[in-house]
A = this chain, B = another copy of it.
Amino acid sequence: MTVIQRKERERNARLKLIINAASDTFAKLGYHKTSMDLIAEKAELGKSTLYYYFRSKEALLITVLETGLKEFFETLENRISSESSTIDKIKSITITGAEFFSKNKNFFNFYVYLSAHPSLRKVVYKKFQPIIYKKLEVIKNVLQQAQKEKLIEQLPIEEITRIYGSLVMSMGIFTSPATTKKQLLKRAEMINEIFLNGIKINRDN
């Protein structure tokens, strides 16, 4: 058994090695400018070895994305459930976003790039949209809970989820690499402020 276990562990280590090398390089150069040669070099492995672990470049890409998104959503869920008041749960979503993006600036950019890439969108959407939608449920649930508690307006839940989601995402997309974590956190607070209270002074209309 121990032999099998060791093999398993070694295999996982190799996988992680490749995924990391690929993730870094994809993020730095983009999917199309990253060659399998380069990934192999970064991973200090023979190129054919990549093909031993992954059917194709695209398969490798998918695993890279899967890994990154999983990490993000796990962090998010943990964070949300660590807050007790519903309003704080909402707020924690942008905060988590800010923290994650400042740590993984490139990863998100890379995800956006893929979502926007016509020839890859199909792959990305088919594979990840379901996951993301399921994960976005986390956000939706929080907002729904807030509606139930009459903390926020009874606007269509899908739409406000989408809008809030966009605001969180926008931190990952429209933020220059030079932005510091501190700035990002400030930005997150302002997003919360506006999302919750709006910017108009007299509330009629």
Contacts and interface: CB of A to CB of B under 8 A. Distances in A.
A195 B193 contact: no
22 contacts: A27-B118, A30-B117, A32-B32, A33-B118, A87-B205, A110-B116, A112-B112, A112-B113, A113-B118, A116-B173, A153-B199, A155-B199, A159-B190, A162-B187, A163-B167, A163-B170, A163-B191, A163-B194, A166-B167, A167-B170, A197-B198, A203-B203
A164 to B, nearest CB: 8
A160 interface: yes
Interface of A: 27-30, 32-33, 87, 106, 109-110, 112-113, 115-120, 150-153, 155-156, 159-160, 162-163, 165-167, 169-170, 173-174, 187, 190-191, 193-201, 203, 205
Contacts of A196: 198-200, 205
A151 B198 CA distance: 12
Given A196-B199, A198-B199, A203-B203, 13 more contacts: A29-B118, A29-B119, A30-B119, A30-B120, A32-B117, A87-B205, A150-B201, A152-B200, A152-B201, A155-B194, A166-B170, A166-B174, A169-B170
